[in-house]
Amino acid sequence: MPETITLEVQRYRPEDEAEPVFERFDVPFRADWMVLDALNYIKDNLDGTLSYRWACRMGVCGSCGMMVNGQPLLTCATYLERLLPGPIRVEPLKGFPVIRDLVGDITDFLEKLSRVKPWIVREEEKPLAEGEYLQTPEQLADYEQYSMCINCMLCYAACPIYELEPDFIGPAAIAIAQRYNLDSRDEGVQERLDVLSQHDGIWACTFVGECSVVCPKNVDPAGAIQRYKVAATADWFKSVLTPWANR
């Protein structure tokens, strides 16, 4: 095993540079280190001005997603050993404006996420005295896969449609919408369908499937989108064949 490994890190300091540049750092190689450990070493020992996001180091918060050798990955879950002999190129997630170094502006994603109402929608809440809304294991299983999304946005960085058509609401937002649509306690299906059945919603997806390939939690956003297309098509046929039902 080598004693050191080289990271080529994208730097962008708007007060100094008009365009991003790459800077090389040699860091100690440890078999149990992740890419995030190497970035933390740089920050702590070589250049304290390096900017990037991270929090839990456990693949839960989703904040440390970056492009590593051209692939969208969680840096806290990517071993240096897997990337030998190096160098390892680290860049911010593709598709998001860069604020500084490896920090992208995720405002667009957050706005799109809010449009699908990622919470349980109820037309009327029952009194607290009646107790909680109970679910069977089978009802939980209906949406549990989609509930694993950690908003890491790797799927957006992998999605060629989002890169070409920035108005596309994106795979994670659609998968999270499905998480609530399939929840037996939720009554907001039609509200979300009205949003996602637009041109910049589910129909913008051409089913490349890269979003599901890169998902670190096996959420399968591509599957959620196709499932949503079936539901939207059925809803359209219902509105045509039984228009009185929607009055």
- What domains does the chain contain, in order, with CATH numbers? 4-104 (3.10.20.30), 107-246 (1.10.1060.10)
Could you read off the pLDDT of 131-188 as tens digits, one per residue? 999 999 999 999 999 999 999 999 999 999 998 998 999 999 999 999 999 999 999 9
Flag whether the pTM goes above 0.85: yes
Average pLDDT, stretch 11-24? 94
How far is 187 from 164, CA to CA, in rounded Å?
Answer: 33
- Distance, in Å, from the CA atom of 52 to the CA atom of 43, rounded to the nearest integer, reads 10
Q: Residues 205-232: what's their mean pLDDT?
A: 90
The H or E element that residue 39 is part of is helix 35-41
The C-alpha atoms of residue 94 and residue 72 are separated, in whole angstroms, by 8
pLDDT digits (tens, 9 = 90+) for 129-146: 999 999 999 999 999 999
